[in-house]
């Protein structure tokens, strides 16, 4: 019976998650693809509200959708496809893209350090916040190794992506950025959530966003240990 109950709970979790996402996609299309109604934002709000209203433990929900988490791994690998298709363009723009990513990464780290001092944050909170500007699968181990909270780091990373996506789109529109430049902006500032939006914009923004997300993660993996050593 316990096995049957576990399977039933997994079915409920999967069904609720998939239904929320399908509904969020429909709302997104109906709104004319408004950046504040990205499916990942509205679906997350629906699921979070449901967990809170029904008093469901987040660990129980996470276990019920473990299959979806597993399926995400090959999906992430597929991001290499648009990068391969636009390899020549990326190679041509590589110096400019890497310069922007390095400057953006340094500005992000400096701003977090400044806010941490201003708000008198503790060591755990400061360490966790420093990795917020990379995708959550990278930010969590980056925060965990020097003594931060990986759950807090992952949550801040997701929140950053949700907030930065519409802000990046508004900025790109205001500055008249090209598709490639918009992709870099989304990948650097909003990582996975931004790349999901870039996929809606076309293959070029997606290629530059996916590359920027991966390259920024590598930069943070190199820079953050040095920052921790200097500030520790």
The tokens for 147 are: 């003594």
Query: By residue range, what is the domain housing residue 180?
Result: 80-231
Q: Is residue 135 predicted with pLDDT exceeding 90?
A: no
The tokens for 27 are: 């709302």
Residues 209 and 109 in one domain: yes
For residues 219 and 35, the model is more confident at 219
Residues 176 and 217 in one domain: yes
| Separation CA 217–CA 232 (nearest Å) | 22
The dihedral of CA 215, 147, 63, 54: what is its sign?
Answer: negative
Residues 85 and 55 in one domain: no
Q: pLDDT tens for residues 87-104?
A: 999 999 999 999 999 999
Highest averaged pLDDT of the listed ranges 109-113, 124-128, 194-198, 208-212: 208-212
**What average pLDDT does this structure show over 120-126?**
85
Q: How confident is the model at residue 83 (pLDDT cuts 50, 70, 90)?
A: very high
Residues 87 and 196 in one domain: yes
**What average pLDDT does this structure show over 4-14?**
74
**Are 213 and 191 contacting, i.e. CB atoms less than 8 angstroms apart?**
yes
Give pLDDT, residue 182: 95
Residues 72 and 85 in one domain: no
| Separation CA 188–CA 182 (nearest Å) | 10
Estimate to the nearest angstrom the gap between the alpha carbon of 102 and the chain centroid: 18
| Separation CA 33–CA 31 (nearest Å) | 5
Last residue of a domain, one of 28, 52, 76: 76
**Least confidently predicted of 5-9, 64-68, 117-121, 183-187:** 5-9
**What average pLDDT does this structure show over 157-175?**
89
* Residue percentage of the chain with pLDDT more than 70: 96
Last residue of a domain, one of 76, 106, 124: 76
Last residue of a domain, one of 59, 76, 93: 76
């Amino acid at each position: 019976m316990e096995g049957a109950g576990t399977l039933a709970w997994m079915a409920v979790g999967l069904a609720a998650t998939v239904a929320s996402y399908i509904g969020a996609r429909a709302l997104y299309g109906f709104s004319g693809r408004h950046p504040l109604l990205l499916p990942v934002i509205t679906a997350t709000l629906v699921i979070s509200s449901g967990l809170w209203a029904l008093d469901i433990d987040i660990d129980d929900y996470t276990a019920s959708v473990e299959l979806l988490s597993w399926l995400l791994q090959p999906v992430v690998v597929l991001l290499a496809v648009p990068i391969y298709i636009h390899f020549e363009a990326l190679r041509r723009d590589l110096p400019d893209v890497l310069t922007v990513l390095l400057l953006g990464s340094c500005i992000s780290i400096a701003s977090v350090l400044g806010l941490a001092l201003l708000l008198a944050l503790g060591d755990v909170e400061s360490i966790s916040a420093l990795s917020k500007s990379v995708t959550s699968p990278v930010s969590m181990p980056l925060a965990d190794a020097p003594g931060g909270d990986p759950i807090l780091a992952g949550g801040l990373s997701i929140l950053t992506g949700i907030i930065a996506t519409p802000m990046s789109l508004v900025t790109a529109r205001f500055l008249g950025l090209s598709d490639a430049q918009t992709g870099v902006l989304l990948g650097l500032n909003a990582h996975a959530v931004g790349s999901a939006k870039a996929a809606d914009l076309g293959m070029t923004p997606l290629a530059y966003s996916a590359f920027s997300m991966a390259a920024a993660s590598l930069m943070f993996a190199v820079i953050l240990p040095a920052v921790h050593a200097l500030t520790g």
